[in-house]
């Protein structure tokens, strides 16, 4: 019998839908139905907005440090339930359990802890001169809409800064990965957040998103997802002139410059794309390599891909699990077929099922060589384990190719020379650049250029997205 999830957190209590429409969750590793989720109706969404609206004033008056203490209690709860979170995310998303523990759970808890630390450095009010006082005030009620690929991380990247800034929130997670959001709501409840400050609604993104975007009592929408949906959110929020923060798609470039460590650079680049089965918005899906070392790099990349094990998410040696669902599976396979039709050279992977994976939405690590920037596989976000390798003649061409994209979310550069590495990093038009083997940093403001969106998450800049300024000007004092 399927598990039924009918749990929505509104105004400090758990609610159920009386006659729900059900959304079926499929285990991507087995293709078996495992649970059904009750979708909230419009009336319930409106109740959540009303609860947040009534909670907003009192929550916004608290000091940053008081709100930071609530975040610490939420972090403590999530830490105590880390294993349960990791298992839930691995089951729903299909990523290997080791990856779920390390990246899907440990990393967002670290991001949440950093927000606790930010509370001490934030000032509500500053005297700019003898006549001008400037206050930071919460932007107001926020609708937070998050995707399925890093479910807890994306929740924390929005919920933590919004709550710290003093905003009451309505959280709408992806339907495919609801359990981490439910555990986060349980953490908010255990922390004793005032009723209405944190509200969780499960259901259809189209229906709930439209209500949040159009409702006059919602002051801000923060969305992470596809560029296509981001455009719809902008349009729907326009009539009420809401603040909108968008973290959208990416087609990030990895420029490998002059280096004696080509094998190390290529391995990092291949593994970066294949982690989470390629379902990562910042994945380095275009590897740019000097023409004189191109064939060497292709051979190295194919070798790395063929050594990465695809298999059961529970197995400790699985590097890739399945992609999230059949729709994503079919979409990625169509892109692989498109790459072949466009004339790219397949050097690893392809459309055939990986060995030992007769069931599940498994796709082998796939690499295309002989790719140019005019191909769709080099321009569109595939969101699967597919890498394109592109040659370049000199540094200027490398930067031109890297920036010849509608996106600008992330990038990486690798070079032995400090000056070359700096030039390349500064030359890429993207919001987050890594150099050589640098790892993710939860204090780095994260967001995009161009069609990758606008606004920033994480770091103090992420908190500022949920704050607005009020200037108070006094009359000049008489010196008589």
Residue 439 annotated in active site: no
pLDDT tens digits for range 199-213: 999 998 888 999 999
pLDDT digits (tens, 9 = 90+) for 127-151: 999 999 999 999 999 999 999 999 9
pTM score of the predicted model: 0.96
Report whether pLDDT(179) > 80: yes
Rounded to an integer, the average pLDDT of 335-352 is: 98
Our answer to whether residue 281 is catalytic in this structure is yes
Structure tokens given for 95: 């990523």
> With contact defined as beta carbons under 8 Å apart, do 370 and 344 qualify?
yes
For 322, the 3-state DSSP assignment is: coil
Give 85's pLDDT tier (boundaries 50, 70, 90): very high
pLDDT of residue 322: 98
Mean pLDDT of 234-238: 95
Q: What is the pLDDT of residue 479?
A: 61
Question: Is 90 exceeded by the pLDDT of residue 43?
Answer: yes
Q: Which residues contact 85 (CB under 8 A, 6 or more apart)?
A: 78, 104, 105, 152, 180, 183
Q: At what angle do helices 42-61 and 205-214 cross, to 10 degrees?
A: 50
pLDDT at position 480: 58
**How crowded is residue 410: how many other Cβ atoms within 10 Å of its Cβ?**
26
Residue in 281, 298, 357, 388 annotated catalytic:
281
Please give the pLDDT value at position 2: 77
What percent of the chain has a predicted confidence (pLDDT) above 70? 99
pLDDT of residue 478: 65
Of the pLDDT bands very low, low, confident and very high (cuts 50, 70, 90), residue 3 is confident
pLDDT in tens, 313-326: 999 999 999 999 99
Angle value at C-alpha 292, between 289 and 295, nearest 5 degrees? 70
Residue 5, pLDDT > 80, answer yes
Between strands 3-5 and 32-39, the pairing is: parallel
Residues near 333 by beta carbon (within 8 Å), at least 6 away in sequence: 351, 363
**Rounded Cα gap, residues 37 and 201, in angstroms:** 11
Q: How confident is the model at residue 476 (pLDDT cuts 50, 70, 90)?
A: confident
CA distance 4 to 25: 10
**Per residue in 47-65, pLDDT tens?**
999 999 999 999 999 999 9
**Per-residue pLDDT band at 23 (split at 50, 70, 90):** very high
How far is Cα of residue 130 from the mean position of the Cα atoms in its chain? 43
Residues 294-307 pLDDT 10s: 999 999 999 999 99
pLDDT value, residue 19? 84
Q: Which of 47, 92, 189, 247 is catalytic?
A: 247
Mean pLDDT of the residues in the chain: 96
Lowest mean pLDDT of 217-221, 352-356, 430-434, name the range: 352-356
């Amino acid at each position: 019998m399927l598990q039924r999830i009918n749990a929505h957190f509104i105004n400090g209590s758990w609610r159920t839908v009386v006659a729900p429409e059900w959304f079926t969750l499929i285990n991507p590793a087995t293709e078996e139905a495992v649970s059904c989720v009750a979708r909230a109706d419009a009336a319930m969404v409106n109740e959540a907005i009303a609860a947040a609206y009534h909670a907003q004033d009192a929550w916004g008056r608290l000091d940053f440090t008081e709100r930071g203490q609530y975040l610490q209690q939420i972090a403590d709860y999530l830490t105590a339930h880390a294993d349960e979170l990791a298992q839930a995310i691995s089951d729903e998303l299909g990523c290997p359990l080791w990856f779920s523990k390390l990246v899907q759970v440990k990393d967002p808890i670290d991001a949440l802890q950093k927000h606790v630390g930010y509370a001490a450095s934030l000032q509500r009010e500053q005297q700019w001169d003898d006549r001008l006082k400037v206050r930071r005030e919460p932007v107001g009620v926020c609708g937070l809409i998050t995707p399925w690929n890093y479910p807890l991380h994306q929740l924390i990247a929005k919920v933590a800064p919004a709550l710290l800034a003093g905003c009451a929130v309505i959280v709408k997670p992806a339907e495919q990965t609801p359990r981490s959001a439910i555990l986060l709501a349980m953490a908010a409840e255990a922390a004793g957040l005032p009723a209405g400050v944190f509200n969780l609604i499960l259901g259809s993104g189209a229906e709930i998103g439209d209500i949040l975007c159009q409702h006059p009592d919602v002051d801000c929408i923060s969305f992470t997802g596809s560029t296509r949906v981001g455009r719809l959110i902008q349009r729907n929020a326009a009539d009420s002139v809401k603040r909108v923060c968008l973290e959208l798609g990416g087609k990030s470039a990895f420029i490998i410059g002059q280096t004696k460590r080509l094998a190390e650079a290529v391995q990092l680049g291949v593994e970066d794309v294949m982690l989470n089965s390629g379902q990562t918005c910042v994945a380095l899906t275009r590897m740019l390599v000097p023409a004189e070392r191109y064939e060497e790099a292709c051979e190295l990349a194919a070798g790395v891909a063929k050594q990465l094990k695809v298999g059961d998410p529970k197995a400790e040696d699985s590097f890739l699990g399945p992609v999230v669902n059949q729709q994503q599976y079919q979409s990625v396979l169509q892109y692989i077929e498109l790459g072949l039709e466009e004339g790219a050279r397949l050097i690893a992977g392809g459309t055939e099922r990986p060995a030992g994976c007769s069931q599940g939405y498994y796709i082998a690590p796939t690499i295309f060589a002989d790719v140019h920037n005019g191909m769709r596989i080099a321009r569109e976000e595939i969101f699967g384990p597919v890498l394109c390798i592109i040659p370049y003649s000199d540094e200027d061409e490398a930067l031109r190719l890297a920036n010849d994209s509608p996106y600008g979310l992330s990038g990486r550069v690798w070079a032995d020379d400090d000056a070359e590495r700096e030039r390349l990093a500064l030359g890429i038009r993207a919001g987050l650049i890594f150099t050589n083997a640098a790892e993710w940093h939860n204090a780095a403001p994260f967001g995009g250029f161009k069609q990758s969106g606008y606004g920033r998450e994480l770091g103090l800049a992420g908190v500022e997205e949920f704050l607005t300024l009020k200037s108070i000007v006094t009359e000049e004092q008489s010196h008589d």
